[in-house]
Amino acid sequence: MNRILFLIVLVSNVVVAQVQRHRAVTLMGSRFDITIEAKDSLSAEKYIDESITEIERIENLISEWRPQTQISEVNRNAGIKPVKVDKEVIRLTQSGIYFSKLTDCAFDISIVAMDKIWKFDGSMTTMPSAEAIKKSVEKVGYQNIEIDTIASTIFLKKPGMKIGFGSIGKGYAADKTRELMELKGVKAGIINASGDLTTWGKQHNGKYWTVGITNPFKNDDYAEVFKLKRFAVTTSGNYEKFVEFDGKRYSHIINPKTGMPSTEICSVSVFGPSAEIANGFSTSIIVLGVEEGLKLLAKFPDYSCVLITDKGKIIKSKNFKKKKLIK
């Protein structure tokens, strides 16, 4: 998932008996911006601390980069034995498998096992060979993930397989943190996980949260600006990490089925109730392309999207209406 910049219009003056506090922290390898409305500064800072604790809890379950996590243990035992994990990890893995099936492998949580033959740091001068591309995805395939819900285990059948939650993990963390804050009685806030964002409530001046999608072709401008109350929005894009060969741009978001980088769509933002689900859709649509991506999303009326093609054209799903975002 790209780190897409969002415009968050925050309010610092106290209009009623509420205050707003914001903190930026690095969690799950990304920047999180946490904004909380509370009755006083002390309470707001305490809720931000609790939000950070919740995100760290999730990271310590699902990070494939931290060796002590349950997912790292699953990956180490690929082709060897099943690993017992928490029910929460089972559920999130099932969510990843659901999107993998739904998109016919345009989304696949086992893509982290792909050979890193594409470089997006400026060092690539030629495209990988067709043989290298084909070989790079040999260990990718959600069909080889075996879940035993009774024993609460995950088994990766192929040696060298790995699973990871880079495409839905931050959205899931944003959802869970919003849920925790609402349970604690926090009336309003934003959890922004580097572009995987959830909002709830109104600001203390009575205004809705304002969120802007960066224009990929004008970094100091916004393609669209929206008002949100209780909603989620996630953005996937290819304009920050890509390579070009013969005038064609290849994104860092790879098709797990073919090993080829995605093309055609520069940015896609998906709106809906859940950041986790929106996150899965935004990643999938980048790979599927405009026509197939819109066709997929049309089956889920609670979710809508705004696409920006690599030619700069803005396309909205048929069910997209700004007024629906405020509810």
6-61+168-325 and 70-156 share one fold: no
Residue 294 has pLDDT above 50, yes or no: yes
Q: Which residues contact 326 (CB under 8 A, 6 or more apart)?
A: 208, 227, 228, 229
Residue 59 in tokens? 């990271």
Report how far apart, in Å, the C-alpha atoms of 61 and of each of 86, 141, 153, 169, 208 are.
8, 22, 14, 10, 33
Residue 46 above 90 pLDDT?
yes
pLDDT band at 15 (very low <50, low <70, confident <90, very high): very low
Place of tokens 């309010």: 11
**Model's pTM, two decimal places?**
0.90
- Annotation: binding site for Mg(2+): 167, 283
pLDDT at residue 264 above 70? yes
- What tens digit of pLDDT does each residue of 233-257 get? 999 887 667 787 877 777 788 999 9
pLDDT confidence bin for 11, thresholds 50/70/90: very low
Position 218 confidence tier, pLDDT thresholds 50, 70, 90: confident
Say whether pLDDT at 9 is over 70: no
Out of 17-21, 84-88, 247-251, 273-277, which region has the weakest mean confidence (pLDDT)? Answer: 247-251
Task: Return the CATH number of the domain spanning residue range 6-61+168-325.
Answer: 3.10.520.10
| CB-neighbour burial class of residue 196 (10 A; exposed 0-12, middle 13-18, buried 19+) | buried
Boundaries of every domain in the chain: 6-61+168-325, 70-156
Q: Write down the mean pLDDT value for the chain.
A: 89
Evaluate whether 158 touches 172 at the Cβ level (below 8 Å).
no
Annotated binding site: 167, 283
CATH 2.60.40.1260 fits 70-156, yes or no: no
